[in-house]
Amino acid sequence: MMGPERLGFLIDRHAAALELYARQWCACPEDVVQEAFLKLSRQAPEPPQVVAWLHRVVRNAAISAGRSERRRQHHESTAARTPWFTDDAAGRLDAAALTEALASPAPDEREAIVAHLWGGLTFEQIAEVSGTSAATVHRRYAAGLNDLRTWLNLPCPKT
């Protein structure tokens, strides 16, 4: 295995150029270069052409990381275009208004609403997932529903 002095020398000498090289394929060149040097540190014996070896490892990892980034962005953009609701045939639900309204509660309130109504989780389960108490989750859920009612201009039900 490679000694720390040799590895440090190679990092100091080539890391910046390798990051620039990786940047043409991915948005995380620092991570790719770091992984390449970790792989190099485990090589026994050291590759005969270590700089060329580093470029090949960085190139392959950067191309792979770029593909993953594009795939993730595609899936996220597809999910973002998927409506939360569908229009009700009788005209009672306006999918666009409901989707917009769901953006009105605070993120922690929205999390409680979505996890409870669509995820089917209990308040205790949501509390475990979010690292809070069931009482806090219930309070957030109720506050979020009130925000939705206000946004949609719906009267509060009598309890």
Domains of the chain: 4-81 (1.10.1740), 95-152 (1.10.10.10)
User: 40 or 93: whose pLDDT is higher?
Assistant: 40
For 37, the enclosing helix (H) or strand (E) is: helix 29-41
Global pTM value: 0.52
For the stretch 109-156, pLDDT in tens is 988 988 888 788 899 999 998 899 999 999 999 999 888 888 777 766
Q: Is the pLDDT of residue 3 over 70?
A: yes
Interatomic CA distance for residues 83 and 119, integer angstroms: 16
> How distant is the alpha carbon of residue 142 from its chain centre?
27
Residue in the structure block whose two tokens are 């597809």: 78
